[in-house]
């Protein structure tokens, strides 16, 4: 899944018309077209543009910046190599994660913003997996062990919620013509950052995301899904651990209230109670996913079915 040009302009700070002019004049890259015919730019395209802008900010003309980048490379792949902060400036993504953690623990918003400025041109998924989620894991463990206060946990959560919300806004919630997925946490579960991370990854994959947030009663979630159009998937986050029978009752109720044509996924650390050696690996009609890789497998299955469904129509219309 690629980025729309509006998102690329926002991420790089390069005006839309300038990107198009550079693309035509310097033959920078081949831009793909989505099924809805919108232009899509890859992470490598965004990284290359960010490198060019950085050189231009140092005083190079755009033609000089592009020539310099090409001269440094023995192959096109090297030109568009993943953009990582220079070791002298940041010491890598892991150090960036550690510095962000330290800034937030000290309630240093300005410092945390500066760290994010140095990480911003990395692919969203890498920022999530290598920076935000490790911060959340460390904070959760530290709070449980008494090393961090509840105030520090709330401050970090608020900062990361802002950052993830900005990512999802830049992605526009996913392409307008994409399959719709509804995301929510079940009633009594107020944790939403893991759900936001999943929503961003779904949008990057080309799904249209409706994120309803945390702590939503099953009846209300099902009512929304039944009234929405083009919903193919519902994902409910289960962050908190609750008794197995209670969780099964909630998920069975949700499954019964949603049309069978719509897939249902229950994901998060709280679903581990459903995966014990004496239990079924999944509920009837509900996919149980502890990792995003498990969710991705469900997405692949849905997308494969859709390709088969489109096949006969495409043939008959040819």
What are the residues facing 265 on neighbouring strands? 235, 287
Q: Do 241 and 140 contact (CB within 8 A), yes or no?
A: no
Please tell me the least confidently modeled range out of 124-128, 168-172, 254-258, 310-314. 310-314
Question: 15: buried, middle or exposed (CB in 10 Å: 19+, 13-18, 0-12)?
Answer: exposed
In the predicted model, is pLDDT for residue 40 greater than 60?
yes
Q: Encoding tokens for residue 43?
A: 């992470």
Give residue 82's pLDDT: 41
Residue 68's Cβ-side half-sphere holds a number of Cα atoms within 13 Å equal to 15
In the predicted model, is pLDDT for residue 61 greater than 60?
yes
Pairing of strands 39-40, 32-33: antiparallel
Q: What is the CA radius of gyration of the chain?
A: 22
In the predicted model, is pLDDT for residue 266 greater than 70?
yes
Interatomic CA distance for residues 125 and 308, integer angstroms = 29
Q: Comparing 65 with 263, which gets the higher pLDDT? A: 263
Phi-psi region of 40 (alpha: psi -120 to 50; beta: other; left: phi over 0): beta
Question: Buried b / exposed e across 176-215, counting CB within 10 Å, b at 16+?
Answer: eebbbbbbbbbbebebbbbbbbbbbbbbbbbbbbbbbebe
Q: pLDDT grade, residue 37 (50/70/90)? A: low
Give residue 316's pLDDT: 39
Q: pLDDT grade, residue 105 (50/70/90)? A: very high
Give residue 50's pLDDT: 83
Residue with tokens 């994010």: 116
Give residue 317's pLDDT: 41
pLDDT in tens, 107-141: 999 999 999 988 877 788 889 999 999 999 999 89
In the predicted model, is pLDDT for residue 205 greater than 70?
yes
In the predicted model, is pLDDT for residue 253 greater than 90?
yes
Please tell me the least confidently modeled range out of 16-20, 64-68, 154-158, 268-272. 64-68
CB atoms within 10 A of CB 87: 9
In the predicted model, is pLDDT for residue 147 greater than 50?
yes
* DSSP class of 39: E
Please tell me the least confidently modeled range out of 192-201, 214-223, 284-293. 284-293
Domains of the chain: 5-79 (1.10.1660.10), 92-170 (1.10.1240.10), 180-313 (3.40.50.280)
Interatomic CA distance for residues 173 and 205, integer angstroms = 11
Give residue 250's pLDDT: 92
């Amino acid at each position: 899944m690629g980025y729309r040009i509006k998102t690329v302009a926002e991420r790089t700070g390069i005006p839309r018309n300038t990107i198009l002019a550079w693309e035509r004049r310097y033959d920078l890259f081949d831009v793909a077209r989505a099924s809805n015919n919108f232009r899509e730019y890859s992470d490598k395209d965004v990284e290359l543009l960010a490198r060019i802008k950085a050189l231009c900010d140092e005083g190079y003309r755009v033609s000089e910046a592009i020539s310099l980048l090409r001269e440094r490379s023995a192959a096109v792949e090297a030109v568009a190599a993943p953009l990582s902060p220079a070791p002298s400036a940041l010491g890598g993504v892991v150090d960036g994660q550690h510095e962000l953690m330290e800034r937030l623990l000290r309630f240093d918003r300005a410092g945390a913003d500066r760290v994010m400025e140095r990480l911003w041109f990395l692919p969203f998924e890498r920022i999530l997996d290598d920076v935000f989620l490790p911060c959340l894991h460390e904070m959760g463990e530290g709070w449980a062990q008494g090393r961090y206060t509840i105030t520090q946990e709330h401050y970090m959560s608020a900062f990361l919620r802002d950052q993830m919300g900005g990512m999802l806004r830049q992605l526009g919630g996913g392409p307008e013509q994409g399959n719709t997925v509804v995301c929510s946490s079940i009633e009594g579960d107020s944790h939403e950052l893991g759900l936001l991370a999943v929503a961003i990854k779904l949008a990057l994959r080309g799904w249209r995301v409706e994120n309803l947030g945390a702590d939503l009663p099953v009846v209300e979630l099902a009512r929304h899904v039944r009234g929405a159009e083009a919903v193919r998937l519902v994902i409910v986050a289960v962050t908190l651990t609750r008794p197995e029978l209670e969780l099964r009752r909630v998920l069975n109720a949700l499954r019964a209230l949603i049309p069978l044509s719509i897939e249902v996924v229950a994901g998060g650390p709280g679903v581990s109670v459903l995966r014990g050696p004496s239990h079924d690996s999944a509920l009837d009609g509900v996919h149980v996913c502890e990792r995003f890789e498990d969710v991705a497998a469900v997405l692949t299955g849905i997308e494969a079915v859709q390709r088969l469904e489109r096949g006969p129509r495409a043939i008959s219309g040819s």
